[in-house]
Chain A
Amino acid sequence: MNRFNAIFERDLRKFIRNPLVVAMSLLMPIIYLVILGNSFQGELKNLPLAVVDLDGGPYAIRVMELLRSLEAGPKTLKVQRVSDQGFAMSGLRQGVFKAVLVIPPDFSRDVSRGARSELGLFLDNAETISANSVQGAVLRALPELTRKYVSVREQRRTYLRDIEIYRKIDYDQTLIPGVVIMAIFLGAMTTGAFNMVMDRFLGVEESYFLTPLTKRDIVMGLVASGLLITTILALIVLFLSSLISGIYLWQMLSLEGLLLIIAVIILSTLGLQGLMFIIMGRINHPRIVGVLGGFLNVIFFFPSGAIYPIESFPAWLKAFAKVNPETYSVHALRALLFKGAGLSAVDVDMIFLSIFAVIAIALGTIAFKRAL
């Protein structure tokens, strides 16, 4: 126990003597929140739409009015009238417009006769997300006309009104579990196993191996110090990122919820610390850790459901998400933070994370090489 404590204390002392690292470990996940929250927005806005009116009749004016109201209201579209269809199409190709709506000649006549009338919607398929948004917005804007036999030349959809079953959550708030997981990942990456790689790189480990320290003393000491540091970092990141996105945790969380959140953070950290020991067990150069760090962060973070729902993944990625510990952490944190859930809602996550942590740390200890 004495030996384990000595290693534990050594790491904490070394960590607090690097205030720059402490500051960066806190700041980086929060900057992620700000950047991600503002670059992947829930609904797109101000998508430029060109309208070519070849009709000029009363129903064409009605279409324009409906589009204008959409522009003024949810601001999804930015409508611009263009007289020449060729000009509008070249603008679409150059990316000036995200879509072009063509109102054909005789449109008003066909509508008033009750004949089948069509509007042409040309979409920039290279940008799927904005194309889908424009299409959706136009379909929603013209319900009145569609009832009067105007069919947009696109697949028909039934319009569902969103019913949100939990309290209103902004998109950057939904990112909070992901940001906390990122803080945990960064913590696990820069403490624990990384200290071992640095000791090896600097040749300091030799003098530790000369003492009666066992493999277990070393790995457990490193994991424990990394766990304490990472847990504190993750909790601070959780608190700050909630404040930034306008949530007051002290109003939302019960004591049980808070304790469960801490438990999820601890289990996630242990699992990732163990994983790092498995991966870095025999690495002796920090450069490799740098390369691996960026890679591992992406492959664990994006398929975790922190940004896009897992349900929309292809089957192979879904399979990976199933064994990715970050998936369970994100799921549990989301349930605890936003749904006020108790233990019963996150028990599967907790069990998975516990098993993962135990196996990872056991394998990590085996992978550790206590020899030169």
Chain B
Amino acid sequence: MAAIETVELVKKYGGLTALAGVSLSIPEGDFFGLLGPNGAGKTTLIRILTTLIRPTSGLSKVAGFDVVKDKAKVRSVIGVVPQAMTSDLDLTGFEIMDIYARFYGMPKKERRDRTDELLSMVGLRDRAGDLVATYSGGMRRRLEIARGLVHKPEILILDEPTIGLDPQSRHVVWELLEKFRSTDKLTILLTTHYMEEAEELCDHVGIMDYGKIVALDTVEGLKKQIPQKDIVELTISNFDMNRAAGWVKTLHFVTSCAINADTLIVSAEGGAKAIPELVDGLKKMGANLTKVTLKQQTLEDVFIHFTGRPIREEEAKKVSFLLGAGVPTKWGR
């Protein structure tokens, strides 16, 4: 059974289409990453899956429960870390864990044990008695991850969990997610802007744009789908560039070769492995190589390939002229 399944999910806000038919199936135990530019609909999709908003049309099931008809059941099996920091500043880390555990009806003993275990794992046990207001951004995030797991959910959903964190805290969060995944047998769905985050963590990656899934595969699978390959740049000081390029093009792993002054720009599959053969061959021909650089294909290339370069002009959020930001969003729109 799929842990998360959606069929032709559509969400419209007035004239704006946030989701234009998303069909997705995430198997149990998968670590699924959802990539996409700002305004692609990632948060809208997450909010539908977590019962916070109703889809305009389409079907979606989380752990086998319908997110519209079976809200209560969905809520009890998912753990969610929202994009914004959402812990009460006036409470201590321990109190937040305990209060959330009570929301799920956990008995006292179990609450204490679970809270203790999780706070130790996220490294907040010593600070559990301090107000959240005294925590750093990274600590709050770790607390929120622990909070999302307090009731031993089957599925953990994180909306840009490392946004705004320093590289140290980001790596800590990644390690935590790996750790929880193996100990709790979780299915994890995560949205992110950070390509290295998806490359490092995810089994499968879906790329969203304009409210649709435009590509979905493993990281390696996605890389194979795009035309651009690894690029090897070879700078030569004393040689006929056309002759060198002619020879390079005969190699089977090379897809193209261009000349830029005294530099050969070679597009090759498995760039790192191609370097020794290229260097040896050119040396044998008598070329004097002064510099070799390798630009490996990254998930970012994949991302740009599927979503294009232009920056997304997001629909400006409408704010009431009379009341500023202080009106119900429904009236303000």
Contact = CB atoms under 8 A, between A and B. Distances in A.
Given A10-B95, A208-B103, A210-B78, 12 more contacts: A2-B105, A3-B102, A10-B99, A18-B90, A206-B86, A211-B104, A212-B75, A282-B328, A283-B327, A285-B324, A285-B325, A287-B326
B226 interface: no
B223 to A, nearest CB: 34
Given A211-B100, A212-B72, A288-B326, A372 B88 contact: no
A295 to B, nearest CB: 15
A13 B102 contact: no
A213 B90 contact: no
B50 A210 contact: yes
Interface residues of B, number: 37
Contact of B102 (A5, A210, A283): A5
A14 interface: yes
A210 B80 contact: yes
Nearest to B326: A285
A197 to B, nearest CB: 10
B329 A284 contact: yes
Contact of B328 (A9, A204, A284): A284
Contacts, number: 88
A372 B75 contact: no
Contacts of B51: 209-210
A13 B95 contact: yes
Nearest to A14: B90
A371 B328 CA distance: 12
Interface residues of A, number: 30
Nearest to B329: A284
Contacts of B72: 212
13 contacts: A2-B102, A2-B105, A3-B102, A10-B95, A14-B90, A17-B90, A207-B86, A207-B147, A211-B75, A212-B72, A283-B327, A283-B328, A285-B323
A204 B102 contact: no
Contacts of A372: 47, 52-53
A281 B329 CA distance: 13
A63 to B, nearest CB: 62
B82 interface: yes
A6 interface: yes
Contact of B103 (A204, A211, A283): A211
Contacts of B75: 210-212
B241 interface: no
A210 B82 contact: yes
Contacts of A285: 323-327
B120 interface: no
Interface string A83-114: 00000000000000000000000000000000
Interface in B81-106: 82, 84-88, 90-91, 95, 99-100, 102-105
A17 B133 CA distance: 12
Given A283-B326, A284-B327, A371-B53, A14 B80 contact: no
B78 to A, nearest CB: 8
Nearest to A211: B103
Give 7 nearest A-B pairs by CB, closest first: A285-B326, A207-B86, A6-B102, A282-B328, A211-B103, A14-B90, A203-B84
Contacts of B324: 285, 287
